[in-house]
Structure 1
Amino acid sequence: MSKWLKFSVRAVVAIVLLFIAAAVVIPIVFKPQLMQIAKRETNSMLNAKVDFDDFQVSLIKGFPNLYVGMKGLSVVGIDNFANDTLVAFREFGVKVNLWSVIDMTNIEVNSVILDGARLTARVLPDGQVNWDVMKPSEDSVEEVEDTAASAIKTKVALKLFQIKDARIAYIDDSSDMKVVVDNLNLTLSSDMGLSRTDLNLKTTVESLNFWMDGIRYLRDARLGFKATIGANLDSSYYTFKENSFSINQLKLLFDGSVSMPGDDIDINLNFKTPTTDFKALLSMVPAIYMKDFEDIQTSGRFSIDGYVKGVYNQKQMPNAFIALSVDNGMFKYPDLPKSVTDVNISTKVWFDGTNMDNTTVNVDKFSLYLGGNPFSMNMRVATPISDMQVDGNVTGKIDFATLADVVPMDSTTMEGLLESNLDFGGKLSYIENEQYDRFKADGQVKLSKFKYNAPDMPAEVNVKEVSMDFTPRYVNLQNFEMTIASSDIRMNGRLENFIPYVFKDETLSGNLNVYSNLLDVNEMMAGESAPEEEVDTSAMGVIELPKNISFLAKVDMKKIIYDKLEINNLFGSINLSGGVANLNNLSMEMLDGLVRMSGTYDSRDVKKPQVDFNFDMSNIDIQTAFKSVSTLQKIAPAVEDMSGKVSTQFNFGSLLDTTMMPVPSSINAYGKIQSKSIGIKNSKALAKLADYLKKEDFRNPSLKDVNLSFSVKDGRIFIEPFDTKIADAKMNFGGDMGIDQTLNFRAKVSVPSSYLGGLSTLANSLLGNYGAKLPQYIDVNLKILGTSTHPEIKIDSGGGSTDSKSSAKETAKEMVKEKVDEAKAEARKEAKAQADKLIADAEKEAERIRAEATNQADMIRKEAEAKAKKTEEEGKKKGPIAARVAKEAAKKIREQGEAAAQKVIDEADKKANAVIAKAKDEAAKLDK
């Protein structure tokens, strides 16, 4: 071997070894960097929890590029969408240019593969969406510019974008719509690094299901789309070359272009069917496509063609047109005796994207013979925005018994006759303005002797008759008679605004009379033959009331059975409006008593329906109520051990959960309960009380003359203190307990003193010394804490709680001592009061004596003054000398009168002082 050959061999071996080393070392070197970047960047950008099981970096798997992938990737929502998986992948992988990763300044992405994608897009009733997870940028403009300048740039040079085995679900609770796509596979290949390229797109869907307003319009439909699209990526101009779209056996071909020069999207597309076999159109009918479709015999031709042309932006939509025609269509199942023949359809729809009021719908012909029964209709709709104009006719007869002769019904059976002859025409404003003479609506729709039975129905539905007469003003429901198992419903009444309700979703109003001899809800939900233990009404979902129906229904039902409740003679009215049911003065016999109720059920927020009811119940049997009402079992299980009859008036408000059960924390209730006697047994709290009082009457007591007020709020039941009797003991009881069964009650038990035996005799002997005796009842104040299964009894001292380790008699001994001390204090208080009274009476007497003396002294002074003045006057008459002598005599008379008056006052004061002194001496004796 030459030296050159040896050198070449060694060089090749070295290169191979170097490549192998690079393939092993490079992923190990760059994996930590890329994994750190991936986790940091995804979680920093999203208001969601992003995680993945493994992060792969491989040069061998992506050679000559670097493969970067995440396995078990999931994005889980937060807040209102907590634990709701938005998207998940078995594997999410990209291939990037190796040298661009090493440079870390301009990463070039060549392919993206999404394997096993699971995506769930959800819209809540209030419009919130679970895909709005991008965090808003909090950076300033300068910071963004600086960051952008230094950030790693990504160049998309895709040659392959692939989705394998994806499942996509779109659930819109705000519009009651649901779309589920199963086993979606998509391959997009191209060289997007070029400005001009061909996009090769191939898409298949194994199963597409679509529901709207509870109706399933597509069932396991198969989709396919294959196209070659010429793309000018610089100008965003795309032209359709070879393409086909298929749904089941219906195929459409497209030609035209789509351009996006700016914010506008300019669309110029035409579509048509490449084949005209009527069978392809039948594949769009779920009930037909799902059963022996390949064996169906068909004839007839059909065509679909149309276009979409114009600009799409935030202000306008493109114009569109579609035409569907069927000529002499027919289909027949080979194993069935009858067929559908003479199917003729001619329908055209023009949509004006600039002025939607120019949109028109023409159903010029829709006719067929169903097993020999003719049915036809035509309809035209114009000016749908400003003032909708509708014209049409529906005429025909359908014998439902013939359906089984035309279409395989499996285990479903139907019979009965539907007859219709209805003409209508005019502007909806005529009805709204009550110009009924200008709107044409007359005819009748009648269903008779209808029977329907299916495996998913609890029992056979029998409709004896439904008869409706149409006029411009109203629809007269002459008769409606239906039975399901043993239940029956009869109705009649009038429906108004029917045409606007059908065509513009406006509010349908009316008055109905509803009658029933028996309505067994359990039968209707679980089936007539279901045993009692299998009836599961808790599986019931929220009952959503339509917002565009306004009915006043007068109800007269003889018997209703729901869960374990049996209701008899239900009378009253129900007003349904705007998604709210108002119950007005409903009266019924239930729970062995009489119930009257009013209130509302509000389902406008289907996630948080709520009730607000007022109840007036008379002579309700407690045991019957507990066994029949699940809510009572949930919030007050202790009622199970109670017996007797109660009357109650209360208001009850609560949110409801998804099974129509009250949410305990939201319950807000208040009212009163009255009963002559309520028996209680097996109560652990009362058993503790019996042990404490050493009285068995408290173990299984009967509460007498109960009259209490209660309320329920924040998950607790509050009972205002009320008086009752247990045996010969009086009790005042009140407090609160949680729906979690925690207790916080206070009880004031008035124990007869006879409970004390010889102790009461001793007490009365001691108290007799003070002129008192032991009261007939002794009060014991207690706290009842803990839970209903583990109660605690404590003495309520008014301060901190003290564990009750002593019996009632030991407590009573302490109370007797207190009573003796109280009697002593009372005696002292009485003696002091008597002493104070003696002194007070004496002071009053002394004041009276002094007052009389003052009056007597004043009389003496007045008499002396009068006598003195008379003496002076007589002296003046006799001359000057006599006047002078008289003046001296008058002076002496005044002096003698003053002396006599003072003597009376002094004697009275002495007497008054003596009275007070005597009283103080007697008071001092009493105080001792």
Structure 2
Amino acid sequence: MKKILSITLKVLAALVTLFIAAAIVLPIIFKPQLMQVAKKEANSMLNAKVNFTDFQVSLIKGFPNLYVGMKGLTVVGIDSFANDTLVAFKEFGVKVNIWSVIDMTDIEVKSILLDEARVNAHVLPDGRVNWDIMKPSETPETEMEDTAAATTVSTKVSLKRFEIRNANIAYIDDSSNMKATIQNFNFTLSGNMGMSQTELKLKTSIESLNFWMDGIRYLKNSAVGFDAIIAANIDSSYYAFKENAFSINHLKLLFDGSVRMPGNDIDINLNFKTPSTDFKALLSMVPAVYMTDFEGLQASGKFGIEGYVRGTYNNSQMPSAFVAINVDNGMFKYPDLPKSVTDVNISTKIWFDGVNMDNTSVNVDRFALNLGGNPFSMRMRVATPISDMQVDGSITGNIDFSTLSDVIPMDSTYMEGLLESNLDFGGKLSFIEKEQYERFKADGLLKLSRFKFKSPDIPAEVKLNEVTLNFTPQYVNLANFDMSIASSDIRMNGRLENFIPYVFKDETLSGNLNVNSNLLDVNELLTGKSAPEEEVTDTTALSVIELPRNINFSTRVDMKKIVYDKLNIENLAGNVALSGGVADLKNLSMNMLQGDVRMSGTYDPRDVKAPMVNFDFDMRNIDIPTAFKSFTTLQKIAPTVKDMTGNVSTQFKFTSMLDTTMMPVLNSINAYGKLQSKSIGVSNSKAFAKLADFLKKDEFRNPSLKDVNVSFSINNGRIYIEPFDTKIAEAKMNFGGDMGIDQTLNFKAKVSVPSSYLGGVANLANDLLGKYGAKLPQTIDVNLKILGTSSKPDVQLDSGGGSAESSSSVKETAKEAVKEKVDEAKVEARQKAKAEADKLIADAEKEAEQIRAEAAKRAEQIRAEAEAQAKKTEAEGQKKGPIAERAAKEAAKKIRQNGEAAAQKVIAEADEKANAVVAKAKAEAAKL
């Protein structure tokens, strides 16, 4: 018996040892295969690049469950989101019931861990999102049904713990100009989620929360926490709050009530209130206060927030809500500053009706404070916001900004100046819309005088000598706007209309303004210093200038001098109209580049990733060296202009996409026009040096081109120059062709050189020709090809493949002269061929123009259809309330963007087709 027991124990020990060895060894043996399979499967399912540094399958780490984990997991985007990391984890681990894995019929997930996650969510201006990475299934529906029927494996979520540790999250929405960041986000959800009824424990903390909307920062480094115990009925989707606390900085809210989700509806019945009445808790929500010695802040006064959210949320309605905010006799003071903010009294109530949003109302019965001896107060009421908004309010008080530093720590920021306010307004917005101005009250003024602002965040001190706004129901009169920044100054006056609807309903603000300036140094405004004129290699850092879409201004501009990048512009005058986010420049005149310039056109930054310009220029007597130094684009597309001198006049149309630094995208440039000059000097040109060596005449090495009159175009990354006549010394030249932005050359030149260039050989040739009753002509034509690149040109005889050596032979030239003299018929044939070629090209250009015209018509039709659909969407959203209206505006915005993209695509395709027609005609013409 003892022997049997001993054997049994040894067998059990061996089995245990074998199990432990298998638990350790098997994952190690199969780890490479498992990693390869996991990566392959993940990448096959996603339109993204999935990778991880380690893959673990362990019985020991998850005992008694099986642990499956990945370390260094990254998901990186492709296409429009190439090289953008969507998600990254230090560790992504899952624990599952080992017996369910062995059985492979009902896999039970016990816990999930996301450690040090980094999430970057991005929405492009056109609405595309970087998290839409799941590939569509390629399995036919019938095959999917058969597969599902044959497969018995399922996943049963029997979670007891879901944890996120130290996550950093960024959300950027370019379509709605919104951004949010979360740092050190920790989240734990525990409880037996496999049961029908359970108690869930939720613990959440965020170390730093930041939020921006339309360029305004609403939250700065806010600390957020939410702890709750929730009684949950999983089967009926009913959740009741038992104990909970939500906090932002020092402000805490307590909840009670329940949330139920039957079907697609969400039934909400929640009450909330602040457990503390300390006014200091409310101050923690003010970034400027909370981020500066908040713990040492002295504060007193009573504060409270209470309210509720009740009702059903679904596609057709929202729950109703109420919130009341009250502050009684609030005060705060920094111990190291001499003055305080006192007499803070706030009484605000907001009612939101989710069923009939027109019943929503806002009552700010009182908002008053004394800022270091400056009393300020306001009140406002808003009702019936959907049908016909009614507003009633007043603003009264003076603020001496020099006292702010006595109340709030300003660090390196400095302010002074006086704000005077005395406004009284009230009535229905329909009174303004119907021009019944006598029924709407709007009286008073806002005046800011002797204001100065200086901060490390801006490159120069801002001075507002005076800004005066006088309010009437019909319009706001901008009586005076006088501002200076560093050495720049701007003065404005005019009238702003539809101001009240613009403030309260985000309608379009219209206006007529006069803008004057003695000096506007854009470089100084952006960088704090003006770029030296002689500095050619550096470019002032610029960015896309966005324009508001709900402002419609007509502006008369008169500016004596503007410094922009390397340009000095003087006596700028003309009209600028701003409408729908597009600037329309009309008949602007200016002195620049030592000449005169007139221009008209549009600047369209509605797509901030691809803003467009479309300009017409008329330039007179422009100095070539000055233009080259001033335009970086010219330096890139035609660097050989650096060694040219003279004055030119040009008229051309120019369209281009701009990059994020406001520079033209070279391959998108589309331009055409004419250029004239009495004389253009060229020096250090390798192409003309080659031509001089070829013709054995030094006059061509550094030539002066006389009476230049050339038509040109820029398209698809190449500059096309129509053949034109000019003179170099005594030689006439016909020159034309094209050059790439990559500096590749494809030119032809016909040089008519005097026969005297042949010297003694000319006499011998005339003796030979005398036997035929002929003489050398006074000029001899030499046809050349100029190929290669700007830095390494190649000059060849254009004779169907003849070598350079043969071209330099005077005998060959003489033979050609004899041939032309003897065979007049061949000359006529060439002239006829040229006429046919010209007609072929002219017909092609006419066809191309028709193609472009039809495309433009179709593009306008697409835009009109998109605009109609957008307006319909906005109208439907307005009927459903503010939230639906905002969503409708965003949807309409995307409809317009998609319409514009479709229109641009039609134009681009037509342009490509038209260019192909012309190119084909030119190729066929070249064969004639």
Same fold at TM > 0.5? yes
- Give the direction of change, closer, same or farther, for the CA distance of 1:74–1:802 in structure 2 (3 Å limit): farther
Query: Structure 1 residues 423 and 803 mapped into 2: Cα distance closer, same or farther (>3 Å)?
Result: farther
1:823-874 Cα distance to aligned partner (Å, 9 max, x none): 4567999xxxxxxxxxxxxxxxxxxxxxxxxxxxxxxxxxxxxxxxxxxxxx
1:455 to 1:393, Cα distance in 2 relative to 1, 3 A: same
Per the TM alignment, residue 23 of structure 1 is displaced from its structure 2 partner at its CA by: 1.2
Deviates more, 1:525-534 or 1:14-23: 525-534
Q: Which residue pairs with 1:666 in the alignment?
A: 668
Alignment correspondent of 2:818: 820
With a CA cutoff of 8 Å and minimum separation of 6, indicate the structure with the bigger relative contact order: 2
The one of 591, 612, 626 equivalent to 2:628 is 626
1:732 to 731, 734, 740: 734
**Residue type of the alignment partner of 1:194:** M
1:84 aligns with 2:84: yes
Instruction: Judge conservation of contact 2:523–2:540 (CA < 8 Å) in 1.
Output: no
- What secondary structure, in the 3-state scheme, does the structure 2 residue paired with 1:385 have? coil
Q: CA deviation at 1:772?
A: 2.4
Residues 535 and 211 (structure 1), Cα distance of their counterparts in 2 relative to 1, 3 Å cut: farther
The Cα shift of 1:8 comes to: 6.9
Deviation at 1:700, TM superposition (A): 1.0
Output aligned runs, 1:160-179, within 5 Å.
160-179=161-180
CA deviation profile, 1:318-345 (whole Å, cap 9, x unmatched): 1111111100000000000000000001
Counterpart code for 2:276: T
Query: 2:453 maps to which residue?
Result: 452
Residues 382, 826 of structure 1: alpha-carbon distance in 2 compared, 3 angstrom cutoff: closer
Once the two structures are superposed, the pairs formed by residues 340-419 of structure 1 within 5 Å of their partners are: 340-419=341-420
Offset, 1:822: 4.8
Q: CA deviation at 1:346?
A: 0.7
- Secondary structure (helix, strand or coil) at the match of 2:100 reads helix
Residue by residue over 1:611-638, the C-alpha shift from the partner in whole angstroms, topping out at 9 and shown as x without a partner, is 0101111110000000011111121111
Q: Tell me, in whole angstroms, the C-alpha distance in 1 between the residues paired with 2:130 and 2:664.
A: 27
The residue correspondences of 1:640-651 to structure 2 (distance < 5 A) are 640-651=642-653
SS, match of residue 805 in structure 1: helix
Rounded to whole Å, the distance in 1 between the matches of 2:501 and 2:536 is 44
1:832 corresponds to = none
- The answer to whether the 8 Å contact 1:763/1:820 transfers is no
**Equivalents in 2 of 1:102, 1:539: separation in Å?**
62
* Matched residue, 1:239: 240
Q: Cα 1:409–1:537, aligned 2, differ >3 Å: closer, same or farther?
A: farther
- Check conservation: 1:793, 1:803, Cα contact below 8 A: no
Distance 1:528 1:724 in 2: 45
Give the 3-state SS of the residue equivalent to 2:608 in structure 1: coil
What is the TM-score when the length of structure 1 is the normalising length?
A: 0.86
Q: Which amino acid aligns with 2:99?
A: W
Relative to structure 1, the CA distance from residue 824 to residue 535 in structure 2 (aligned partners, 3 Å threshold; closer, same or farther) is closer
> How much does 1:16 deviate?
3.7
Question: Does the 8 Å contact 1:538/1:659 carry over to 2?
Answer: no
Tell me the TM-score normalized by structure 2. 0.86
Q: Distance in 2 between matches of 1:396 and 1:11?
A: 93
Distance 1:296 1:513 in 2: 47
CA distance in 1, matches of 2:145, 2:327: 61
Equivalent residue for 1:590, pick from 589, 592, 595: 592
Alpha-carbon separation, structure 1, partners of 2:377 and 2:803? 87
- CA change 1:146–1:41 in 2 (3 A) is farther
Report the secondary structure of 1:131's partner residue: coil
1:603: which partner in 2? 605
Aligned to 1:865: none
Q: 2:542 maps to what in 1?
A: 540
Distance 1:691 1:767, change over 3 A: same
CA offset at residue 750 of structure 1? 0.8
Q: How does 1:801-816 map to 2 (within 5 A)?
A: 801-806=801-806, 808=808, 810=809, 812-816=810-814
User: d(CA) in 1 for partners of 2:496 and 2:787?
Assistant: 59
Q: Tell whether the 8 Å contact from 1:770 to 1:827 is kept in structure 2 after alignment.
A: no
SS in 1 for 2:791: coil
Change (3 A) 1:76 1:148: same
Aligned to 1:911: none
How far has the Cα of 1:85 moved from its partner? 1.8
Q: 1:681 aligns with which of 683, 695, 698?
A: 683
Corresponding residue for residue 697 of structure 2: 695
The answer (yes or no) to whether the contact 1:522–1:537 under 8 Å persists in 2 is no
Question: Is 2:113 the partner of 1:113?
Answer: yes
For residue 497 of structure 1, what is the aligned residue in structure 2? 498
State the Cα distance separating 1:193 from its structure 2 match: 1.5
Partner of 2:313: 312
CA separation of 1:787/1:33 partners in 2, compared to 1, >3 Å: closer, same or farther?
closer
**CA apart distance, 1:432:** 1.4
How far apart in 1 are the matches of 2:497 and 2:823?
84
Q: Distance in 2 between matches of 1:60 and 1:373?
A: 70
Distance 1:651 1:690 in 2: 35
CA deviations 1:669-703 (Å, max 9, x no partner) are 00111111101111111111111111111111111
CA contact (8 A) 1:117 1:165 kept: yes
SS in 2 for 1:654: strand
The reply on whether 1:321 has 2:322 as its aligned counterpart is: yes
Equivalences for residues 795-874 of structure 1 within 5 A = 795-797=797-799, 799=800, 801-806=801-806, 808=808, 810=809, 812-823=810-821
Deviation per CA, 1:497-530: give whole Å up to 9, x if none: 1111111111111001000001111111111388
1:396 Cα offset (Å)? 0.9
Q: Provide the alpha-carbon RMSD of the alignment.
A: 2.1
CA distance in 2, matches of 1:536, 1:749: 41
Q: Name stretches of at least 5 consecutive residues in structure 1 with no aligned partner.
A: 830-928
Structure 2 match to 1:130: 130
Determine whether 1:721 maps to 2:723: yes
Question: Matched residue of 2:600: which SS?
Answer: strand
Q: For residue 814 of structure 1, what is the amino acid of its counterpart?
A: E
CA deviation after TM superposition for structure 1 residue 458, in Å: 1.1
Q: Could you list the per-position Cα deviations for residues 133-153 of structure 1 after superposition, in whole angstroms to 9, with x for gaps in the alignment?
A: 223345444333222233431
1:915 is aligned to none
Q: What 5-or-longer segments of structure 2 have no aligned partner?
A: 828-928
1:215-261 CA deviation, whole Å, 9 max, x = no partner?
11111000011111111111111111111011000001111111112
Deviations 1:390-439 (CA, angstroms, capped at 9, x unpaired): 11111111100000000000111000000111111111121112111111
Distance, in Å, in 2 between the alignment partners of 1:505 and 1:827 is: 77
Instruction: Sort the Cα spacing of 1:534 and 1:312 in 2 relative to 1 into closer, same or farther, 3 A.
Output: farther
Partner residue, 2:264:
263
Assess if the C-alpha contact under 8 Å between 1:599 and 1:611 holds in 2: yes
Match runs of 1:279-294 below 5 Å: 279-294=280-295
* Aligned residue identity for 1:414: M
Which letter does structure 1 place at the counterpart of 2:157? V
Q: CA deviation at 1:84?
A: 2.0
Between the two proteins, what is the percent identity of the paired residues? Answer: 74
In 2 relative to 1, CA 408–771 (structure 1 residues): closer, same or farther, beyond 3 Å? same
Could you tell me whether the CA contact under 8 Å between 1:694 and 1:807 is conserved in 2? no
In 2, Cα distance between the equivalents of 1:535 and 1:731? 35
Q: In the alignment, is the contact (CA less than 8 A) between 2:601 and 2:613 conserved in 1?
A: yes
- TM superposition shift of 1:39: 3.5
Letter in 2 for 1:437: E
Deviation (angstroms), 1:38: 3.6
Aligned ranges 1:454-469 → 2 under 5 Å? 454-469=455-470
Say if 1:88 and 1:528 are closer, same or farther in 2 by CA, change over 3 A: same
- In the other structure, the counterpart of 1:751 is 753
**Cα pair 1:336 1:407 within 8 Å, conserved:** yes
* Corresponding residue SS for 2:368: strand
What SS class does the counterpart of residue 805 from structure 2 fall into? Answer: coil
Q: Which residue of structure 1 aligns with residue 274 of structure 2?
A: 273
CA positional deviation for 1:30: 6.3
The CA distance in 2 between the partners of 1:210 and 1:534, in whole Å, is: 40
1:902 match: none
Residues 283 and 289 of structure 1 are in contact (CA less than 8 Å); yes or no, is this contact kept in structure 2? yes
From the superposition, tell whether residues 295 and 530 of structure 1 become closer, same or farther in structure 2 (CA, over 3 Å).
farther
1:638 matched to 2:640? The reply is: yes
